[in-house]
Amino acid sequence: MVDNMGLFPLAVERYLNRAVAIHAPGVTTVTNAARYYALHGLVASEAVTRGLSNSEAQHLLRRCEVVLGMATIAHQDADDHDRRWSPDAHGGDYLRRVVRTGPVELTAAAGDDGSSYARAKWGFWGPYRGSEMTLQVLSTDSLTPGPAYRDAETRAVLGPILEIAASATALARSDFVGLEHLCLCQTNLGQDAAWLSHRFAGDIVAGGVAGVLGQTMRIIASAITTTAINSEDDVADFIRYDHRLLTHPRLVGHDATRRWRGITLRHQSVRAWRYLWEQICGHIEAKGAIFLDELRHWFMDAAPDASVDSFVASLPATSNTNGQPLPAESHATNVSQDIVIQCLSVLALGARRLRELDGLELLGFQGEPHAAAAVEELSPHWMAASLNSWADRPMTEFYGHLLDVLLNRSQRVAMRKSTFDTKTGRFVFPARIHIRDGIAFSVFPERARPPVLRIERLMFMGEQVGLFARDNDGRWQLGDRGELVA
């Protein structure tokens, strides 16, 4: 058996990830720089114009990505390079390492032998492809331009990349003197950003993806013009708790606004499960291996001396008399220093919100009511039912029950993801914790990360194309093209 740490060990974020993907289209966690959308459109246009084969188009794309990367690296020491907010070029670590010893050999750097700037055959197109198709920069037919791509504007800015990719054999920093506008930090000043800004702004009067994106971007714009926003968490708190969300002139009547409120509230529960699991795994990791009985005693000993119903009753109110959500989750995590209690408090509050939310907010929170995801294990529905079933029993016993559920679930999830190679006899079991003969073993450390909302990614892309900006203190504001989302 081969050890593999795997991702999403509890698979508790499946509904949330689907909901976020629908409501924050056009970006993912790995789409880093807006200019790549334009570059890939340019390469697609060139490939069609010249009638390139797939392998020739792939070769051109890799060379162009290397040129863009070198243009950015060449400008990084300039006084006008904004080091605070500028995205790094894909393959930048490789290119910086090579250029330290002299010019970068373009053919070698763009090669597809696994020792170049990118291992994937198509360079960094893969992470962007779906998003570029969503925004119609590319069509769904291989590497061809989509209806939203603007060739003249893009060539006016990025045309030199094609010329260098076609003729250069080696790239030095000095080759980019006079081409500073190609640096990723200059994206918002280019003509490519002018048309990309319309794609990322969405279209609030349109249906489908463009309409949803338009509503989401206006939620972000409303947040940054209503309150101090320095991070995605600030935007999420505005959506969750600020009464102005539903009365803001930009947002009145838009369905996505209420759905986002439900999504961001569900985000709290998913994060709590992740951090709770991290605490359990951390204890196992500290021991290396531990008998399940000993693990159970440790976890149960940390429980508060109260019944389940009295614990739930002690939690703060989740809404006011007008039905407006209150920041109960923030209050609960500030009351106790015990992370496990913090997590269980947030989970119990999420279960309570299931009864209080309705309409589009409830839809965002749990999804379609008759779908399996709405009632699956670890969902707010499941948590509410568990709290009700254990209401008159002590929290120590409830802790033991939850531990059993989480351990068993982690093994089931890993088994579902496991693979077996009949040729090599290799069995891959992607789990950080293995359980054998009543003993839990830590194979890989568990480091919980907040679930992704993609709001920060939309803000970052919006900044690069001029929709948003940041002041010297890092506070977000509308950018030069902010009227598109205002």
Tens digits of per-residue pLDDT, 107-118?
A: 999 998 888 999
Judge contact between 461 and 200, C-beta under 8 A.
Answer: yes
Judge contact between 213 and 202, C-beta under 8 A.
Answer: yes
Output b/e per residue, 161-183; b: 16+ Cβ within 10 A. bbebbeebeebebebbeebebbb
Structure tokens belonging to residue 422: 């009949």
Mean of the per-residue pLDDT values for the chain? Answer: 95
Which pLDDT band holds residue 139 (cuts at 50, 70, 90)? Answer: very high
Structure tokens belonging to residue 275: 């951090």
> Lowest-pLDDT range, 58-62, 150-154, 429-433, 467-471?
429-433
Tens digits of per-residue pLDDT, 342-400?
A: 999 999 999 999 999 999 999 999 999 889 989 999 999 999 999 999 999 999 999 99
Does the pLDDT at position 67 exceed 90? yes
CA distance linking residue 138 with residue 51, whole number of Å: 17
CA distance linking residue 461 with residue 53, whole number of Å: 31
Give the residue carrying structure tokens 């930009």. 250
CA distance linking residue 230 with residue 249, whole number of Å: 22
Looking at residue 429, the DSSP 8-state letter turns out to be: E
Which run of H or of E encompasses 367?
none
Residue (of 201, 41, 206, 281) closest to 137 by Cα position? 41
The pLDDT of residue 82 is 83
The pLDDT of residue 223 is 97
Judge contact between 469 and 463, C-beta under 8 A.
Answer: yes
Which pLDDT band holds residue 85 (cuts at 50, 70, 90)? Answer: confident
SS3 420: strand
Q: pTM of the prediction? A: 0.94
The pLDDT of residue 83 is 80
> Lowest-pLDDT range, 202-206, 277-281, 335-339, 342-346?
335-339
Which pLDDT band holds residue 84 (cuts at 50, 70, 90)? Answer: confident
Tens digits of per-residue pLDDT, 416-433?
A: 999 998 988 899 889 999
Does the pLDDT at position 5 exceed 70? no
Does the pLDDT at position 341 exceed 60? yes
The pLDDT of residue 115 is 87
The pLDDT of residue 6 is 63
Structure tokens belonging to residue 201: 């702004």
The pLDDT of residue 3 is 53
Mean pLDDT of 334-339: 86
The pLDDT of residue 4 is 56
Structural domains in the chain plus CATH codes: 31-201 (no CATH), 208-253+454-484 (1.10.10), 266-442 (no CATH)
Burial of 198: CB neighbours in 10 Å, binned 0-12, 13-18, 19+: middle
Structure tokens belonging to residue 354: 């299931």
> Lowest-pLDDT range, 23-32, 216-225, 298-307, 442-451?
442-451
Judge contact between 165 and 79, C-beta under 8 A.
Answer: no
Give the residue carrying structure tokens 């009543």. 438
197 Rama class: left (phi>0) / alpha (psi -120 to 50) / beta:
alpha
Does the pLDDT at position 292 exceed 80? yes
Does the pLDDT at position 10 exceed 60? yes
The pLDDT of residue 28 is 97
Tens digits of per-residue pLDDT, 309-332?
A: 999 999 999 999 998 999 999 998
Does the pLDDT at position 415 exceed 90? yes
User: Rounded to the nearest 10 degrees, how much is the dihedral formed by the CA atoms of 331, 334, 335, 338?
Assistant: 130
The pLDDT of residue 34 is 98
| Beta-strand runs (E) in 266-341 | 289-291
Of all residues in the chain, the percent with pLDDT exceeding 70 is: 99
Residue (of 435, 439, 419, 429) closest to 5 by Cα position? 429
Give the residue carrying structure tokens 């800004």. 197
> Lowest-pLDDT range, 74-88, 221-235, 453-467?
74-88
The pLDDT of residue 252 is 87
Mean pLDDT of 176-189: 96
Does the pLDDT at position 15 exceed 90? yes
